[in-house]
Amino acid sequence: MAFISKDQFIENFQYFDKEVVLEIINIFIDEYPERLQTLRKNIDDGDFDQLRFNAHSIKGVIANFVAPEVQNLAKELEMKGTNKETEGVNDLYDLFKEKADQMMDELKEIKKHYE
């Protein structure tokens, strides 16, 4: 199952220089592990304000890649932070990570289109 709408992604970025698209993709790929670690730490520390902030941030970046399912999971994490809701947050993080990892694999394939 594809998480990124490749056609929509290419259409959204059609007027960008390939170098710019590659930079956008590469920055996210480079930051991704740290972003995940930060979300995990926010949950482990019970820091819901930071969870809300960081989930909102990654949600915005994922929106650029036209991956609505992964984006919605980030939004759910953001809402857990907003509502300071611990119930189910670990399972939600695990699901987000699983789907986001798959999205990253797709993003690496799309990246080849611009290289």
Domains along the chain? 15-114 (1.20.120.160)
* pLDDT reported for residue 2: 83
pLDDT (tens place) for every residue of the chain, 115 residues total: 688 988 899 899 999 999 999 999 999 999 999 999 999 999 999 999 999 999 999 999 999 899 999 999 999 999 999 999 999 999 999 999 999 999 999 999 999 988 8
Distance between CA 24 and CA 51 in Å, rounded? Answer: 23
**DSSP class of 14:** T
* pLDDT reported for residue 68: 93
Contacts 24+ apart (CB under 8 A), 84-87: 84/48, 86/46
* pLDDT reported for residue 88: 97
What backbone torsions phi and psi does residue 68 show, to the nearest 5 degrees?
A: -60, -35
DSSP string across 65-94: TT-HHHHHHHHHHHHHHHTT--TTHHHHHH
